[in-house]
Amino acid sequence: MKRLLILMTFSLLSIFTCKAYTDLSVSEFKAMLEKDQSVQLVDVRTPQEFAQGHLKGAVNIDWKADDFARKVLAQLDKDRPVMLYCRSGRRSAEAAAAAEKLGFKTYNMKGGILAYEKAYSL
């Protein structure tokens, strides 16, 4: 009985802690961008943050906007991978999880553009 309870506890924890998107380091993110020309690059920061500088080829879909899901569905192709980033990686992780639920295969850049700028020049 005790083993069954422990097994059920771990099973439930794995269900609730499982994330569908993939976290990538800055170097993995950059390598994937360079290797796979089919990827869709999305900056989920505010338009003001985006205007201050962004990765080449990125489109801006603000995670905090009320119409985030509508814009993702309207602007992105579900048959192509989506790579997301923000300032530090927190918003893009949330946005990646939301986009996964909408049917997209997503990748989040850990550390965001701050980590990217530290490793590479824009």
Catalytically active residues are 86
Nearest to 42 by CA among 2, 96, 79: 96
The single-letter DSSP state of residue 37 is T
For 4, phi and psi rounded to 5 degrees?
-65, -40
How far is Cα 63 from Cα 67, in angstroms, rounded to an integer?
Answer: 9
Token pair for 81: 């991978």
What is the amino acid identity at position 92? S
